[in-house]
Structure 1
Amino acid sequence: MKPIPNAEGRRINWPNYKTGVRNIYFRMKAENDFASIGIEIGHQDEELQELYFDQFGQFRKMLESIVGEEWDWKLLDQNEFGQPVSRIEKILTNVNVMDSGDWPAIISFLKPRIIALDEFWSNVKPGFES
């Protein structure tokens, strides 16, 4: 991924993607039984978290058009630390990051989606900056 520039043509650290907006994160995970990619809204104020989630909802058709599929939308879920988060994500099941035989499937799953997510974000980020 290193040689691939972001939607604005700049170098980017894809695994540690910085959205530039506090409390909005792009998360990529590869675990023992799944891989996932998504947008995580982690604002401590649940009302503001819901407001961000609703704001993303206004761009749902654009997101799905750019990523080419429907993603799962979860308002006020919990992260692995028990903190309230909202997520917009896609999950690939039945893969194991510890099995090198699954790496091509995991990479093929994550790579086009993070690139598409970056393209989506370059279009909608200004609406979240204020």
Structure 2
Amino acid sequence: MYTREQTSQLRQAFWTTFGQYMMPVLSAEGLKANWVNYNTGFKHLYFRMRADKKTASIAIEITHPDTEMQELIFEQFTLHKSMLEEITGEDWQWDLHTTDENNRTVSRIYQEISPVSVFNRDDWPALISFFKPRIIALDAFWSDAQYAFEELK
């Protein structure tokens, strides 16, 4: 087992490696992007990539504290479901009102793989191969779809 410090260092090393790998990739709008901490420009709306000792996931996460507002945003995404799945080339999991690791109510649209471990450097190529095309596809999707969400900002 790893100490807390080793765990933190390995996570940080992976995300630094991923960030460096993605650095030359421009956004759908031709701009530099911070792929690891992707900014949607909307409060309470995130594109999150997670990796732990068993799984990895990439998600559109809606964290608005008002669950009715969360539902409105989620419904707006469902109107764009075919566009999202066409751009990403795959079906995504849709969870309205689930709980996150902090026991808050969130809604998620996500993809997940397992078994992979961020703590096993041999899994890093699989993790990068999982995250890279999906975060690029989410960016392409968001480049077009974000305007439909303006009234929900």
Give the structure 2 partner of residue 16 of structure 1: 37
Q: Confirm or deny that 1:50 pairs with 2:71.
A: yes
SS in 2 for 1:63: helix
Shift of 1:86: 0.1
The amino acid that maps onto 1:4 is V
Alignment counterpart, residue 142 of structure 2, candidates 96, 106, 121: 121
Structure with more strand by fraction: 1
- Report the Cα distance in structure 2 between the residues aligned to 1:129 and 1:17, rounded to whole angstroms: 18
Alignment counterpart, residue 80 of structure 2, candidates 30, 35, 59: 59
- Report the Cα distance in structure 1 between the residues aligned to 2:109 and 2:142, rounded to whole angstroms: 13
Structure with more helix by fraction: 2
The amino acid that maps onto 1:123 is D
Give the structure 1 partner of residue 55 of structure 2: 34
The amino acid that maps onto 1:92 is I
- Report the Cα distance in structure 2 between the residues aligned to 1:12 and 1:18, rounded to whole angstroms: 9
- Deviations 1:76-126 (CA, angstroms, capped at 9, x unpaired): 001100000000000011000000110110000000000000000001001
- Report the Cα distance in structure 1 between the residues aligned to 2:24 and 2:146, rounded to whole angstroms: 23
Give the structure 1 partner of residue 105 of structure 2: 84
Counting matched residue pairs gives 130
Percent identity over the alignment is 52
Runs of 4+ aligned structure 1 residues displaced above 6 Å come to none
Shift of 1:61: 0.4
The amino acid that maps onto 1:122 is S
- Report the Cα distance in structure 2 between the residues aligned to 1:71 and 1:105, rounded to whole angstroms: 19
SS in 2 for 1:14: coil
TM-score by length of 2: 0.84
Root mean square deviation of aligned Cα: 0.5
The amino acid that maps onto 1:96 is S
Q: Which runs of 5+ in 1 are unaligned?
A: none
Give the structure 2 partner of residue 99 of structure 1: 120
